[in-house]
Amino acid sequence: MKAQEIKESTWMKLENLATQYRFGVIAITLLIIGCLGGVTMNYGAALHIWSLIAVIIPTMTTLSLLLAVAPMRWILNAFIVTVLVDIMVIFIV
């Protein structure tokens, strides 16, 4: 029986690359998430409880995963969710 080749998706390639350069990815993620969360709070996310909660939960989850040295798949997924939530809250509030 011939083994089938498994084609890697772009996301899997990105995950493998992020795993290879883990410490650089962690530093860049920490910088982006920290600055974007601060900018979001500055532009009014702290005025409403719902927006405060919507920004804090994904941001702190991402930072906790970075501190815990979690698998890169978790960190990248949390990073994407955090960036999307922060940008949505900036445009809504």
Instruction: Tell whether pTM > 0.85.
Output: no
Specify the amino acid at residue 45.
Answer: A
> How does pLDDT run across 32-74, given as a tens digit for each residue?
999 999 999 998 888 889 989 999 999 999 999 999 989 999 9
For 80, how many CA atoms within 13 A lie in the half-sphere containing its CB?
8
**Tokens describing residue 60:** 């702190």
pLDDT confidence tier of residue 7, bands split at 50, 70 and 90: confident
Q: What would the pLDDT profile of 19-43 be if each residue is shown by its tens digit?
A: 899 999 999 999 999 999 999 999 8
Predicted confidence at residue 33, as pLDDT, reads: 94
Q: 1 in helix, strand or coil?
A: coil
Neighbours of 25 (CB within 10 A): 19
